[in-house]
Chain A
Amino acid sequence: MTTRRDTGTTWGPIGLGLATLVGVFAAVEAMIRVGWINGFIVPLPSAVLLSFERIIVEEGVLRRFLFTAAEALAAGTLVAVCGTSLGVLLYRRQILRLACENWVAALAAAPLVLIYPLLLVIFGRNALTIVMIGFLSGLPPAILKTVEGLSSTRRVLIDVGRSFNLSPSQQFRKILFPAALPTIFVGLRLGLMFALINIVGVEFLINFGGLGQFVNELAERYDLPAMYAAIFFVILVSVGFFLLTERIERWLGRVR
Chain B
Amino acid sequence: MPDMTPSAVLQVEGLVKRFSTGDETITALDHVSFEVAQGEVLSVIGPSGCGKSTVFNIIGGLTDADEGRVVVEGEAVSGPHPAIGMVFQEESTFPWRTVAENIAFPLEIAGKAKDERVARARQYLALVGLQGFDRHYPAELSGGMRQRVAIARTLASQPKILLMDEPFAALDEQTRFLLGDKVMQIQQKLAQTTLLVTHNIAEAVQLSDRVVVMTYRPGRVKRVVAIDLPRPRTSEVVGSVAFQAFVAEIWNDLREEASRGMLDAEAHSRRVAIGTPASLNE
Taking beta carbons and an 8 Å cutoff, which residues of A are in contact with B? 154, 156-157, 159-160, 162-166, 170, 174-175, 178-179, 181, 254-256
Tell me the complex Cα distance, A59–B56, Å.
71
**Chain B residue contacts of A178, Cβ below 8 A:** 94, 96
| Residue in contact with B94 in the complex, picked from A157, A166, A254, CB distance below 8 Å | A157
**Chain B residue contacts of A179, Cβ below 8 A:** 94-96
> In this complex, which of A165, A170, A174 has the most chain B Cβ atoms within 10 angstroms of its Cβ?
A165
Closest Cβ of chain A: how far from B117's Cβ, in Å? Answer: 14
B91 pairs with A156, CB closer than 8 A: yes
Closest Cβ of chain A: how far from B50's Cβ, in Å? Answer: 21
Tell me the complex Cα distance, A218–B137, Å.
52
| Residue in contact with B62 in the complex, picked from A163, A170, A175, CB distance below 8 Å | A163
| Residue in contact with A164 in the complex, picked from B79, B95, B138, B157, CB distance below 8 Å | B157
Q: Which residues of B (45-85) have their CB < 8 Å from a CB of A?
A: 60-62, 79-82, 84-85
Q: How many A-B residue pairs have CB under 8 A?
A: 57
B96 pairs with A255, CB closer than 8 A: yes
A163 pairs with B86, CB closer than 8 A: yes
Residue of A nearest to B60 (CB): A163
Q: Does B168 contact A (CB under 8 A)?
A: no
Given contacts A156-B90, A164-B109, contact A255 B62 (CB under 8 A): no
Closest Cβ of chain A: how far from B264's Cβ, in Å? Answer: 25
Q: Does B92 contact A (CB under 8 A)?
A: yes
**Chain B residue contacts of A156, Cβ below 8 A:** 88, 90-92
Closest Cβ of chain A: how far from B111's Cβ, in Å? Answer: 11
**Chain A residue contacts of B62, Cβ below 8 A:** 159, 162-163
**Chain B residue contacts of A254, Cβ below 8 A:** 137, 139
Given contacts A163-B86, A255-B137, contact A174 B96 (CB under 8 A): no
Tell me the complex Cα distance, A181–B95, Å.
11
